[in-house]
Amino acid sequence: GAGVSQSPSNKVTEKGKDVELRCDPISGHTALYWYRQSLGQGLEFLIYFQGNSAPDKSGLPSDRFSAERTGGSVSTLTIQRTQQEDSAVYLCASSLDRALGQPQHFGDGTRLSIL
Amino acid sequence: SQKIEQNSEALNIQEGKTATLTCNYTNYSPAYLQWYRQDPGRGPVFLLLIRENEKEKRKERLKVTFDTTLKQSLFHITASQPADSATYLCALGGDDKIIFGKGTRLHILP
């Protein structure tokens, strides 16, 4: 399909391990977002990429979190030394550009469980 | 700080009736407001956009209003169907930022 693809769909790991989550945005979309959604909570903004501009990292909760976007397409979100409070659904979204109001197209997320 | 409030309790509506969901906000002057639908285990899906200079937008059975004086948006689903059951999120945006509410769960009862 032509939608946003995220992998893995589920990830269970032990506390202290590193995890890497992947997002394939819609082809041609220059804007890419990562969010975290915990049970009963709204979408918590993590990081935003727009074209070749420096990413907006203002939402990353700690220096254990990092993300990159290679070639303006695929993005990976890395969480180092995972903690139990990192358990959540991590959602990726892309949009055509940064014009105000551009709809975001979401993937179905990676459900991360830290044991 | 900026705050978005959506009814945290689930809303139960009889099939065929109009469902109305509320999104209130404080400490913010958004340039636009969006509504998304989210089904369990899925990512949100964009439904409607309304800009600050617009009062109302319609799309099929959906209608959104935006009152910048009351700092409120209302989202209506007319002739509701069980398939409309989902969580509905409002999102406020301006400049480079967008903020999502926690969503309201809607149940359409057959």
B43 in reach of chain A (CB within 8 A): yes
Nearest residue in chain A measured CA to CA from B102: A42
Position A1 scores a pLDDT of 55
- At A86, the pLDDT band (50, 70, 90 cuts) reads very high
Position B49 scores a pLDDT of 95
B43, A93: Cβ pair inside 8 Å?
yes
Measured distance between the N- and C-terminal CA atoms of chain B, rounded to whole angstroms? 41
> How many helices, marked H, and strands, marked E, lie in chain B?
0, 11
> How many helices, marked H, and strands, marked E, lie in chain A?
0, 10
Q: Tell me: the pLDDT tens digits for B16-43?
A: 999 999 999 998 889 999 999 999 999 9
Nearest residue in chain B measured CA to CA from A35: B100
B10 in reach of chain A (CB within 8 A): no
Position B40 scores a pLDDT of 94
B94 in reach of chain A (CB within 8 A): yes
B32, A100: Cβ pair inside 8 Å?
yes
Q: Tell me: the pLDDT tens digits for B82-101?
A: 999 999 999 999 877 789 99
Asked if residues B35 and B89 have their Cβ atoms less than 8 Å apart, the reply is yes
A42, B94: Cβ pair inside 8 Å?
no
Q: Tell me: the pLDDT tens digits for B44-82?
A: 999 999 999 999 999 999 999 999 999 999 999 999 999
What SS3 string covers B60-82? CCEEEEEECCCCEEEEEECCCCH
Asked if residues A67 and A34 have their Cβ atoms less than 8 Å apart, the reply is yes
